[in-house]
Amino acid sequence: MRIEMPKGARFIIGRILQDGYDAYLVGGSIRDVLLGKDPKDYDIATSATPESIIGMFEKTVPIGIKHGTVEVITDDGCFDVTTFRSEEGYINKRYPENVRFIEDLIEDLRRRDITINALAYNDQKGLIDPFGGFNDLNHRLIRAVGHPVERFKEDALRILRAVRLATTLDFNIEESTLLGIIEEMDGLVYISVERIREEISNILMSENPGRGMRMLFELGLIKYVLPELLPLASFNQFNRYHDKDVLGHTLEVLDRCPRNLPVRLAALFHDSGKPRCFTIDKDGVGHFYGHEKESASIAREILQRLKYDNRTIHLVDKLISLHMVPSEMKNEVKLKKFAIKMGIENIPLFIGLKKADHGGKPDVGGIHAAKLIDFERRLTEILQRNDPLELKDLAVNGDDLKSIGIRNGRLIGKILGILLENVLETPGLNTKERLLEIAAKEAENDNRGN
Protein backbone atom coordinates (compact mmCIF):
# COMPACT_ATOMS: atom_id res chain seq x y z
CA MET A 1 0.00 0.00 0.00
CA ARG A 2 1.37 3.39 -1.02
CA ILE A 3 -0.06 6.48 0.65
CA GLU A 4 0.11 9.77 -1.20
CA MET A 5 1.59 12.75 0.62
CA PRO A 6 2.91 16.20 -0.33
CA LYS A 7 6.40 16.43 -1.82
CA GLY A 8 7.53 18.42 1.20
CA ALA A 9 6.50 15.68 3.65
CA ARG A 10 8.15 12.99 1.53
CA PHE A 11 11.33 15.09 1.31
CA ILE A 12 11.47 15.58 5.11
CA ILE A 13 10.93 11.89 5.84
CA GLY A 14 13.55 10.90 3.27
CA ARG A 15 16.10 13.35 4.67
CA ILE A 16 15.61 12.09 8.24
CA LEU A 17 15.89 8.46 7.12
CA GLN A 18 19.07 9.35 5.24
CA ASP A 19 20.63 10.45 8.54
CA GLY A 20 19.83 7.08 10.12
CA TYR A 21 16.72 7.99 12.11
CA ASP A 22 13.17 6.69 11.80
CA ALA A 23 10.49 9.00 10.40
CA TYR A 24 6.84 8.44 9.53
CA LEU A 25 3.74 10.25 8.47
CA VAL A 26 1.37 9.81 11.43
CA GLY A 27 -2.13 10.41 12.71
CA GLY A 28 -5.14 12.02 11.13
CA SER A 29 -3.54 12.65 7.76
CA ILE A 30 -3.22 8.89 7.13
CA ARG A 31 -6.78 8.36 8.32
CA ASP A 32 -8.08 11.01 5.95
CA VAL A 33 -6.12 9.74 2.94
CA LEU A 34 -7.40 6.20 3.54
CA LEU A 35 -10.95 7.59 3.72
CA GLY A 36 -10.47 9.48 0.46
CA LYS A 37 -10.52 12.86 2.20
CA ASP A 38 -8.12 15.77 1.77
CA PRO A 39 -6.09 16.15 5.02
CA LYS A 40 -5.89 19.62 6.58
CA ASP A 41 -2.26 19.00 7.53
CA TYR A 42 0.40 16.31 7.53
CA ASP A 43 2.27 15.48 10.75
CA ILE A 44 5.57 13.64 10.91
CA ALA A 45 6.94 11.66 13.87
CA THR A 46 10.61 10.73 14.21
CA SER A 47 13.20 9.17 16.47
CA ALA A 48 15.44 12.20 15.85
CA THR A 49 15.61 14.80 18.62
CA PRO A 50 14.40 18.36 18.03
CA GLU A 51 18.01 19.56 18.01
CA SER A 52 18.85 17.05 15.28
CA ILE A 53 15.90 18.21 13.18
CA ILE A 54 16.93 21.85 13.55
CA GLY A 55 20.43 20.95 12.43
CA MET A 56 19.16 18.89 9.53
CA PHE A 57 16.99 21.49 7.78
CA GLU A 58 17.68 25.02 6.63
CA LYS A 59 14.40 26.60 7.73
CA THR A 60 12.83 25.54 11.02
CA VAL A 61 10.72 27.06 13.79
CA PRO A 62 10.80 25.48 17.30
CA ILE A 63 7.05 25.86 17.83
CA GLY A 64 6.74 23.30 20.66
CA ILE A 65 10.27 22.35 21.58
CA LYS A 66 9.25 21.28 25.11
CA HIS A 67 7.05 18.58 23.61
CA GLY A 68 9.48 17.80 20.82
CA THR A 69 7.83 19.65 17.93
CA VAL A 70 9.72 21.60 15.29
CA GLU A 71 8.11 23.16 12.23
CA VAL A 72 10.09 22.47 9.07
CA ILE A 73 9.54 24.93 6.23
CA THR A 74 9.87 23.63 2.67
CA ASP A 75 9.04 24.99 -0.77
CA ASP A 76 5.98 22.74 -0.60
CA GLY A 77 4.68 24.07 2.72
CA CYS A 78 5.25 23.79 6.46
CA PHE A 79 5.20 20.49 8.36
CA ASP A 80 5.27 19.71 12.08
CA VAL A 81 7.97 17.18 12.96
CA THR A 82 7.70 15.71 16.46
CA THR A 83 10.10 13.42 18.29
CA PHE A 84 8.69 10.06 19.46
CA ARG A 85 7.65 10.56 23.07
CA SER A 86 5.93 9.00 26.05
CA GLU A 87 3.74 10.93 28.47
CA GLU A 88 3.15 10.28 32.16
CA GLY A 89 1.41 11.82 35.15
CA TYR A 90 -1.38 13.85 33.56
CA ILE A 91 -2.31 17.02 35.46
CA ASN A 92 -6.03 17.87 35.74
CA LYS A 93 -6.84 15.16 33.20
CA ARG A 94 -5.33 17.25 30.42
CA TYR A 95 -1.61 18.04 30.54
CA PRO A 96 1.17 15.42 30.86
CA GLU A 97 3.43 16.13 33.83
CA ASN A 98 6.37 14.27 32.30
CA VAL A 99 7.27 14.13 28.62
CA ARG A 100 10.13 11.81 27.69
CA PHE A 101 11.68 11.50 24.23
CA ILE A 102 12.01 7.89 23.08
CA GLU A 103 13.09 5.96 19.99
CA ASP A 104 10.20 3.49 19.80
CA LEU A 105 7.43 4.28 17.28
CA ILE A 106 4.96 1.81 18.82
CA GLU A 107 5.29 3.43 22.25
CA ASP A 108 4.70 6.81 20.63
CA LEU A 109 1.54 5.54 18.90
CA ARG A 110 0.37 3.93 22.16
CA ARG A 111 -0.14 7.34 23.80
CA ARG A 112 -2.61 8.44 21.11
CA ASP A 113 -6.34 8.56 21.72
CA ILE A 114 -8.15 6.66 18.95
CA THR A 115 -6.95 3.67 16.91
CA ILE A 116 -7.66 5.37 13.58
CA ASN A 117 -5.28 8.15 14.70
CA ALA A 118 -2.59 5.67 15.79
CA LEU A 119 -1.35 4.87 12.28
CA ALA A 120 2.10 5.52 10.80
CA TYR A 121 3.51 5.27 7.29
CA ASN A 122 6.63 5.72 5.22
CA ASP A 123 7.47 4.40 1.78
CA GLN A 124 10.07 1.94 3.10
CA LYS A 125 7.99 0.12 5.73
CA GLY A 126 4.48 0.82 4.49
CA LEU A 127 1.56 1.14 6.90
CA ILE A 128 2.33 0.56 10.59
CA ASP A 129 -0.88 -0.35 12.44
CA PRO A 130 -0.22 -1.87 15.89
CA PHE A 131 -3.71 -1.22 17.32
CA GLY A 132 -6.05 -2.23 14.50
CA GLY A 133 -6.86 1.24 13.24
CA PHE A 134 -7.13 0.13 9.61
CA ASN A 135 -9.70 -2.51 10.52
CA ASP A 136 -11.65 0.05 12.56
CA LEU A 137 -11.61 2.40 9.57
CA ASN A 138 -13.13 -0.32 7.42
CA HIS A 139 -15.79 -1.03 10.07
CA ARG A 140 -16.37 2.70 10.70
CA LEU A 141 -15.60 2.46 14.40
CA ILE A 142 -14.20 4.90 16.94
CA ARG A 143 -12.15 2.81 19.40
CA ALA A 144 -9.79 4.00 22.12
CA VAL A 145 -6.16 2.87 21.97
CA GLY A 146 -5.63 0.30 24.71
CA HIS A 147 -7.85 0.60 27.78
CA PRO A 148 -10.48 3.32 27.23
CA VAL A 149 -10.71 4.34 30.89
CA GLU A 150 -6.96 4.95 31.01
CA ARG A 151 -7.03 7.01 27.80
CA PHE A 152 -9.88 9.21 29.01
CA LYS A 153 -8.47 9.46 32.52
CA GLU A 154 -5.23 10.82 31.03
CA ASP A 155 -6.98 13.47 28.97
CA ALA A 156 -10.73 14.05 29.31
CA LEU A 157 -10.79 16.15 26.15
CA ARG A 158 -10.48 12.83 24.29
CA ILE A 159 -14.11 12.18 25.26
CA LEU A 160 -15.32 15.13 23.20
CA ARG A 161 -12.88 14.31 20.42
CA ALA A 162 -14.34 10.80 20.18
CA VAL A 163 -17.83 12.26 19.77
CA ARG A 164 -16.55 14.82 17.28
CA LEU A 165 -14.80 12.17 15.17
CA ALA A 166 -17.87 9.93 15.24
CA THR A 167 -19.89 12.92 14.05
CA THR A 168 -17.57 14.25 11.36
CA LEU A 169 -16.74 10.79 9.96
CA ASP A 170 -20.22 9.33 10.52
CA PHE A 171 -18.70 6.45 12.53
CA ASN A 172 -20.06 4.60 15.57
CA ILE A 173 -18.31 4.54 18.93
CA GLU A 174 -17.23 1.03 19.94
CA GLU A 175 -18.94 -0.35 23.07
CA SER A 176 -16.00 -0.49 25.50
CA THR A 177 -15.01 3.02 24.40
CA LEU A 178 -18.57 4.19 25.15
CA LEU A 179 -18.35 2.65 28.62
CA GLY A 180 -15.02 4.40 29.18
CA ILE A 181 -16.58 7.72 28.18
CA ILE A 182 -19.43 7.24 30.65
CA GLU A 183 -17.05 6.24 33.46
CA GLU A 184 -14.67 9.17 32.96
CA MET A 185 -17.03 11.96 31.87
CA ASP A 186 -16.59 13.81 35.19
CA GLY A 187 -13.10 14.69 33.98
CA LEU A 188 -14.64 17.22 31.59
CA VAL A 189 -14.89 19.72 34.46
CA TYR A 190 -11.11 20.14 34.17
CA ILE A 191 -11.15 21.03 30.47
CA SER A 192 -10.77 24.69 29.50
CA VAL A 193 -13.75 26.43 27.92
CA GLU A 194 -11.62 27.24 24.87
CA ARG A 195 -11.06 23.54 24.13
CA ILE A 196 -14.73 22.75 24.73
CA ARG A 197 -15.67 25.60 22.37
CA GLU A 198 -13.39 24.17 19.68
CA GLU A 199 -14.96 20.71 19.87
CA ILE A 200 -18.53 22.06 19.91
CA SER A 201 -17.77 24.22 16.88
CA ASN A 202 -16.29 21.24 15.03
CA ILE A 203 -19.36 19.14 15.78
CA LEU A 204 -21.66 21.93 14.61
CA MET A 205 -19.72 22.39 11.37
CA SER A 206 -19.89 18.70 10.46
CA GLU A 207 -22.32 17.19 7.95
CA ASN A 208 -24.34 15.64 10.81
CA PRO A 209 -24.41 18.23 13.61
CA GLY A 210 -27.73 16.97 14.95
CA ARG A 211 -26.28 13.48 15.43
CA GLY A 212 -23.30 14.85 17.32
CA MET A 213 -25.43 16.96 19.64
CA ARG A 214 -27.80 14.04 20.26
CA MET A 215 -24.80 11.90 21.25
CA LEU A 216 -23.83 14.55 23.81
CA PHE A 217 -27.33 14.26 25.29
CA GLU A 218 -27.56 10.46 25.16
CA LEU A 219 -24.14 9.94 26.76
CA GLY A 220 -24.87 12.49 29.50
CA LEU A 221 -22.08 14.81 28.34
CA ILE A 222 -24.33 17.81 27.68
CA LYS A 223 -24.49 18.67 31.39
CA TYR A 224 -20.73 19.32 31.34
CA VAL A 225 -20.55 21.39 28.16
CA LEU A 226 -23.98 23.00 27.57
CA PRO A 227 -26.04 22.43 30.74
CA GLU A 228 -28.47 25.19 29.74
CA LEU A 229 -29.85 22.88 27.04
CA LEU A 230 -30.81 20.04 29.40
CA PRO A 231 -34.45 21.22 29.78
CA LEU A 232 -35.00 20.86 26.01
CA ALA A 233 -34.95 17.05 26.14
CA SER A 234 -38.46 15.52 26.24
CA PHE A 235 -40.10 18.95 26.59
CA ASN A 236 -43.55 18.45 25.03
CA GLN A 237 -44.66 21.57 23.18
CA PHE A 238 -48.42 20.77 23.20
CA ASN A 239 -48.82 22.58 19.89
CA ARG A 240 -50.04 21.28 16.53
CA TYR A 241 -47.28 23.19 14.77
CA HIS A 242 -44.68 21.05 16.54
CA ASP A 243 -44.68 17.27 16.23
CA LYS A 244 -41.42 16.87 18.18
CA ASP A 245 -40.18 17.90 21.60
CA VAL A 246 -38.01 21.02 21.73
CA LEU A 247 -34.78 19.04 21.45
CA GLY A 248 -36.00 16.99 18.49
CA HIS A 249 -37.06 20.14 16.66
CA THR A 250 -33.78 21.88 17.49
CA LEU A 251 -31.67 19.04 16.13
CA GLU A 252 -33.69 18.84 12.91
CA VAL A 253 -33.31 22.59 12.38
CA LEU A 254 -29.58 22.21 13.01
CA ASP A 255 -29.27 19.54 10.33
CA ARG A 256 -31.18 21.69 7.83
CA CYS A 257 -29.03 24.79 8.33
CA PRO A 258 -26.36 25.96 5.89
CA ARG A 259 -22.81 25.19 7.02
CA ASN A 260 -22.12 28.51 8.70
CA LEU A 261 -21.03 28.60 12.35
CA PRO A 262 -23.11 31.61 13.56
CA VAL A 263 -26.20 30.21 11.83
CA ARG A 264 -25.71 26.78 13.37
CA LEU A 265 -25.06 28.27 16.80
CA ALA A 266 -28.28 30.25 16.38
CA ALA A 267 -30.11 27.07 15.37
CA LEU A 268 -28.78 25.24 18.43
CA PHE A 269 -29.98 27.93 20.83
CA HIS A 270 -32.96 29.45 18.98
CA ASP A 271 -35.56 27.71 21.17
CA SER A 272 -33.48 27.33 24.34
CA GLY A 273 -35.77 29.79 26.15
CA LYS A 274 -38.98 27.86 25.44
CA PRO A 275 -39.07 25.89 28.72
CA ARG A 276 -38.82 29.18 30.66
CA CYS A 277 -41.59 30.83 28.61
CA PHE A 278 -44.03 27.94 28.42
CA THR A 279 -47.71 28.58 29.12
CA ILE A 280 -50.72 26.45 28.30
CA ASP A 281 -54.16 27.86 27.51
CA LYS A 282 -57.62 26.60 28.50
CA ASP A 283 -57.72 24.41 25.39
CA GLY A 284 -54.49 22.66 26.34
CA VAL A 285 -52.44 24.38 23.64
CA GLY A 286 -48.87 25.33 24.51
CA HIS A 287 -47.47 28.82 23.88
CA PHE A 288 -44.01 30.32 24.19
CA TYR A 289 -44.54 34.07 24.07
CA GLY A 290 -41.28 36.01 24.02
CA HIS A 291 -39.14 32.89 23.82
CA GLU A 292 -36.94 34.44 21.11
CA LYS A 293 -35.71 37.13 23.53
CA GLU A 294 -35.18 34.62 26.33
CA SER A 295 -33.36 32.28 23.94
CA ALA A 296 -31.10 35.11 22.75
CA SER A 297 -30.25 35.92 26.37
CA ILE A 298 -29.37 32.28 27.10
CA ALA A 299 -27.26 32.10 23.93
CA ARG A 300 -25.32 35.24 24.90
CA GLU A 301 -24.52 33.79 28.32
CA ILE A 302 -23.34 30.49 26.84
CA LEU A 303 -21.25 32.05 24.06
CA GLN A 304 -19.63 34.50 26.46
CA ARG A 305 -18.79 31.66 28.85
CA LEU A 306 -17.22 29.70 26.00
CA LYS A 307 -15.30 32.83 24.91
CA TYR A 308 -16.61 33.11 21.38
CA ASP A 309 -15.60 36.34 19.69
CA ASN A 310 -17.87 39.38 20.07
CA ARG A 311 -18.78 39.48 16.37
CA THR A 312 -20.10 35.91 16.50
CA ILE A 313 -21.99 36.57 19.74
CA HIS A 314 -23.60 39.72 18.30
CA LEU A 315 -24.66 37.97 15.09
CA VAL A 316 -26.08 34.91 16.87
CA ASP A 317 -27.98 37.26 19.20
CA LYS A 318 -29.53 39.04 16.19
CA LEU A 319 -30.45 35.83 14.39
CA ILE A 320 -32.20 34.40 17.44
CA SER A 321 -33.88 37.64 18.54
CA LEU A 322 -35.42 38.12 15.10
CA HIS A 323 -36.15 34.53 14.10
CA MET A 324 -39.86 34.94 14.93
CA VAL A 325 -40.32 37.89 12.56
CA PRO A 326 -43.48 36.94 10.62
CA SER A 327 -42.89 35.85 7.03
CA GLU A 328 -46.20 37.43 5.99
CA MET A 329 -44.94 40.95 6.75
CA LYS A 330 -46.56 43.05 4.00
CA ASN A 331 -45.62 46.62 4.89
CA GLU A 332 -42.58 47.51 2.80
CA VAL A 333 -41.29 50.13 5.26
CA LYS A 334 -41.42 47.55 8.07
CA LEU A 335 -39.65 45.08 5.81
CA LYS A 336 -36.91 47.64 5.14
CA LYS A 337 -36.56 48.36 8.87
CA PHE A 338 -36.22 44.65 9.52
CA ALA A 339 -33.44 44.44 6.90
CA ILE A 340 -31.67 47.36 8.58
CA LYS A 341 -31.99 45.77 12.02
CA MET A 342 -30.77 42.39 10.81
CA GLY A 343 -27.97 43.91 8.75
CA ILE A 344 -28.07 43.79 4.96
CA GLU A 345 -25.08 41.43 4.79
CA ASN A 346 -26.77 39.02 7.23
CA ILE A 347 -30.05 38.60 5.33
CA PRO A 348 -28.93 35.37 3.53
CA LEU A 349 -27.93 33.89 6.91
CA PHE A 350 -31.29 34.84 8.41
CA ILE A 351 -33.15 33.28 5.48
CA GLY A 352 -31.07 30.10 5.88
CA LEU A 353 -32.06 29.87 9.56
CA LYS A 354 -35.70 30.71 8.85
CA LYS A 355 -35.95 28.02 6.15
CA ALA A 356 -34.41 25.45 8.48
CA ASP A 357 -36.78 26.41 11.30
CA HIS A 358 -39.84 26.10 9.06
CA GLY A 359 -38.55 22.82 7.64
CA GLY A 360 -38.24 21.39 11.14
CA LYS A 361 -41.99 21.41 11.87
CA PRO A 362 -45.25 20.36 10.16
CA ASP A 363 -46.44 22.58 7.30
CA VAL A 364 -49.89 21.44 6.19
CA GLY A 365 -50.39 22.41 2.57
CA GLY A 366 -47.00 24.11 2.40
CA ILE A 367 -48.48 27.40 3.68
CA HIS A 368 -45.48 28.43 5.78
CA ALA A 369 -43.04 27.52 3.01
CA ALA A 370 -45.00 29.63 0.52
CA LYS A 371 -45.02 32.62 2.89
CA LEU A 372 -41.28 32.31 3.44
CA ILE A 373 -40.61 32.14 -0.30
CA ASP A 374 -42.62 35.34 -0.75
CA PHE A 375 -40.82 36.97 2.20
CA GLU A 376 -37.44 36.15 0.67
CA ARG A 377 -38.57 37.38 -2.76
CA ARG A 378 -39.73 40.75 -1.40
CA LEU A 379 -36.56 41.22 0.62
CA THR A 380 -34.45 40.35 -2.42
CA GLU A 381 -36.34 42.85 -4.57
CA ILE A 382 -35.70 45.63 -2.04
CA LEU A 383 -32.00 44.84 -1.86
CA GLN A 384 -31.67 44.59 -5.64
CA ARG A 385 -33.32 47.99 -6.10
CA ASN A 386 -30.58 49.51 -3.96
CA ASP A 387 -33.13 51.58 -2.09
CA PRO A 388 -31.56 53.80 0.60
CA LEU A 389 -31.79 51.89 3.88
CA GLU A 390 -29.22 53.47 6.18
CA LEU A 391 -28.02 56.96 7.11
CA LYS A 392 -24.96 56.50 4.92
CA ASP A 393 -27.28 56.02 1.92
CA LEU A 394 -28.83 59.48 2.28
CA ALA A 395 -27.97 62.14 -0.30
CA VAL A 396 -27.03 64.49 2.57
CA ASN A 397 -24.92 64.22 5.71
CA GLY A 398 -24.26 66.23 8.84
CA ASP A 399 -21.97 68.68 7.06
CA ASP A 400 -24.72 69.43 4.54
CA LEU A 401 -27.10 70.26 7.39
CA LYS A 402 -24.48 72.53 8.95
CA SER A 403 -24.18 74.34 5.62
CA ILE A 404 -27.81 75.49 5.92
CA GLY A 405 -27.34 76.69 9.49
CA ILE A 406 -28.23 73.63 11.57
CA ARG A 407 -25.41 73.54 14.12
CA ASN A 408 -26.74 71.66 17.13
CA GLY A 409 -25.35 68.11 17.15
CA ARG A 410 -28.45 66.64 18.82
CA LEU A 411 -30.71 68.29 16.25
CA ILE A 412 -28.55 67.13 13.34
CA GLY A 413 -28.88 63.52 14.52
CA LYS A 414 -32.63 63.88 15.03
CA ILE A 415 -33.18 65.40 11.57
CA LEU A 416 -31.05 62.77 9.82
CA GLY A 417 -33.26 60.13 11.44
CA ILE A 418 -36.39 61.91 10.20
CA LEU A 419 -34.92 62.15 6.70
CA LEU A 420 -34.22 58.42 6.70
CA GLU A 421 -37.81 57.69 7.76
CA ASN A 422 -39.04 59.80 4.84
CA VAL A 423 -36.72 58.11 2.36
CA LEU A 424 -37.62 54.61 3.58
CA GLU A 425 -41.23 55.36 2.74
CA THR A 426 -40.54 57.32 -0.46
CA PRO A 427 -37.12 56.50 -1.99
CA GLY A 428 -37.60 59.20 -4.64
CA LEU A 429 -37.09 61.88 -1.98
CA ASN A 430 -33.42 60.95 -1.71
CA THR A 431 -31.96 63.97 -3.51
CA LYS A 432 -29.79 66.61 -1.88
CA GLU A 433 -32.12 69.44 -2.82
CA ARG A 434 -35.28 67.74 -1.54
CA LEU A 435 -33.74 66.50 1.69
CA LEU A 436 -32.30 69.91 2.55
CA GLU A 437 -35.77 71.41 2.09
CA ILE A 438 -37.21 68.87 4.53
CA ALA A 439 -34.31 69.42 6.93
CA ALA A 440 -34.84 73.18 6.94
CA LYS A 441 -38.54 72.75 7.76
CA GLU A 442 -37.76 70.29 10.56
CA ALA A 443 -35.20 72.71 12.03
CA GLU A 444 -37.75 75.50 11.88
CA ASN A 445 -40.38 73.34 13.61
CA ASP A 446 -37.87 72.42 16.29
CA ASN A 447 -37.06 76.07 16.96
CA ARG A 448 -40.77 76.88 17.29
CA GLY A 449 -41.20 74.06 19.74
CA ASN A 450 -38.43 75.47 21.90
For 350-391, what is each residue's pLDDT tens digit? 999 999 998 877 764 577 788 888 999 999 998 898 889 999
- Cα–Cα distances (Å) from 271 to 27, 208, 285, 291, 318, in that order, read 39, 19, 17, 7, 14
**In the chain, % of residues over pLDDT 70:** 97
Residue 164 has a pLDDT of 97
Residue 288: the pLDDT is 86
Does residue 335 have a pLDDT over 80?
A: yes
Task: Say whether pLDDT at 217 is over 80.
Answer: yes
Neighbours of 162 (CB within 10 A): 28
What does the pLDDT read at residue 365?
Answer: 54
Closest among 446, 448, 388, 449 to 414, alpha carbons compared: 446
Reported residue count of the chain is 450
Computed over every residue of the chain, the mean pLDDT equals 93
pLDDT at residue number 98: 73
Q: Give the count of beta carbons closer than 10 Å to the beta carbon of residue 410.
A: 8
Which of 177-203 are b and which e, b meaning 16 or more Cβ less than 10 Å from the residue's Cβ?
bbebbeebbebbeebeeeebbbbbbbb
The yes-or-no verdict on residue 282 having pLDDT over 60 is yes
- How high is the pLDDT of residue 322? 96
What mean pLDDT is predicted for residues 417-423? 96
Tell me the mean pLDDT in the region 26-53. 95
Q: Is residue 31 very low, low, confident or very high in pLDDT (cuts 50, 70, 90)?
A: very high
Among 413, 375, 160, 200, smallest CA distance to 302 is for 200
236/280 Cα distance (integer angstroms): 11
Going by C-alpha positions, the residue among 115, 116, 119 that lies closest to residue 127 is: 119
How far is the C-alpha of 267 from the C-alpha of 352, rounded, in Å?
10
Whole-angstrom distance, CA of residue 17 vs CA of residue 445: 86
Q: Over the Cα atoms of the chain, what is R_g?
A: 29
Residue 122 or 284, more confident: 122
For range 294-304, the mean pLDDT: 98
CA distance to 196, 325, 353, 438, per residue, from 261 (Å): 15, 21, 11, 44
Question: Do 412 and 419 touch, CB atoms closer than 8 A?
Answer: no
Cα-flanking dihedrals φ and ψ of residue 363, to 5°?
-140, 80
